[in-house]
Amino acid sequence: MPAPLMPASLLEVRDLTMRFGGLTAVSSLSFAVRAGEITAVIGPNGAGKTTVFNCITGFYRPTAGGIALSPPGGGTLALERMPGHRIARRARVARTFQNIRLFAGMTVLENLLVAQHNTLMPSVASGLLAVFGLSGHAHAERAAIARARFWLDAVDLAARADDPAGALPYGAQRRLEIARAMCTSPVLLCLDEPAAGLNPRESEELSTLLRRIRDGAGGEPGCSILLIEHDMGVVMRISDHIVVLDHGRKISDGSPAEVRADPAVIAAYLGDGDDDDSPATAA
């Protein structure tokens, strides 16, 4: 049952292949992320989910295939040819990490300000001029702090703004990492297992937060989300669209209900003797 009005696709992955030496982690994978939706990538361990993420966010250069981003402003960017920091800056694709990567020795607020580095410091020259109080830095800094405050409230960390990020409890660190990614004003947010290690109440709160990010609130525009997740409760609850990977290939693609009913998915998760004739090749 297709939706009555098909939203335009924001990200198109076409024939993506990633090889590490003789090991093929992802082989000719194609899928699309539609604007304004939450797309989940699921699959058993080693299916190549994180590799796909690393290709999209520029940490790996794909062996073959294309990744095209069509931001709402128009135009198309070929992500497979951009270095990592430019993907975050120009294409505005933000990401979080499977093993949380916060700036542990910096405060929560500083973490959110570092995320706004490129708005605060358009060029090295302006960054150096700011030493002498030039280049209108104070104004930009106030705006950045206001934005950080907004996201602190959104992830319920305002009371801990001045605490070092490394001292936060695990669940709060996960939320802070999402807030930090959102401070870069992304058009696509890539989350690598955001619910890992969260208790049921925390993953419920995470679902609410992700829906809120998708729809946009408080003057923030909505942001499409691409997530990898093992917690099927969260995936089925919030996803608009699910892509299932196994051994680096796509085995299913559709709405949560369709994917749940797909025999190939069930076989991949529960194991099926006949299906497994190819060697495990994923990283």
For β-strands 249-254 and 241-246, DSSP reports them as: antiparallel
Tokens 């608009």 sit on residue: 240
Tokens 């989350």 sit on residue: 191
Task: Give the CA distances from residue 66 to residues 55, 94, 283, in Å, rounded to whole numbers and listed in that order.
Answer: 10, 19, 20
Among 13, 18, 42, 88, the residue binding another protein under the rule CB under 8 A is 88
Beta carbon nearer to another protein, 192 or 246: 192
β-partners of residue 94 are 189
Q: Taking CB under 8 A as the rule, does residue 149 contact another protein? A: yes
The sheet that has 77-78: what strands, in order across it?
23-34, 9-20, 64-69, 77-78
Number of residues that bind another protein (CB under 8 A): 47
Residue 140 CA to residue 137 CA, distance in Å, equals: 5
Q: Taking CB under 8 A as the rule, does residue 98 contact another protein? A: no
Q: Taking CB under 8 A as the rule, does residue 274 contact another protein? A: no
Beta carbon nearer to another protein, 86 or 271: 86
Beta carbon nearer to another protein, 52 or 115: 115
Q: Taking CB under 8 A as the rule, does residue 269 contact another protein? A: no
For the residues of 225-253, what is the DSSP string, one character each? Answer: EEEE-S-HHHHHHH-SEEEEEETTEEEEE
**Do 245 and 260 contact (CB within 8 A), yes or no?**
no
Using the rule CB under 8 A, give the single segment among 24-32, 125-133, 212-220, 239-247 that binds another protein: 125-133
**Do 209 and 178 contact (CB within 8 A), yes or no?**
yes
Q: Which residues contact 36 (CB under 8 A, 6 or more apart)?
A: 7, 214, 222, 224
Instruction: Tell me how far, at minimum, the Cβ of 47 lies from another protein, in Å.
Output: 22
Among 32, 68, 120, 236, the residue binding another protein under the rule CB under 8 A is 120
Using the rule CB under 8 A, give the single segment among 82-90, 204-212, 252-260, 261-269 that binds another protein: 82-90
Which positions from 176 through 235 interact with another protein, judged by CB under 8 A? 180-181, 184
Among 35, 145, 267, 283, the residue binding another protein under the rule CB under 8 A is 145
Residue 203 CA to residue 210 CA, distance in Å, equals: 10
β-partners of residue 29 are 16
Beta carbon nearer to another protein, 5 or 159: 159
Tokens 């973490």 sit on residue: 111
Q: Taking CB under 8 A as the rule, does residue 49 contact another protein? A: no
Using the rule CB under 8 A, give the single segment among 8-16, 80-88, 208-216, 239-247 that binds another protein: 80-88
Residues of the shown chain interacting with another protein in the complex, contacts defined by CB under 8 A? 57-59, 84-89, 94-95, 97, 101-107, 109-110, 113-118, 120-121, 124, 127-128, 130-131, 137, 141, 145, 149, 161-164, 166-167, 180-181, 184
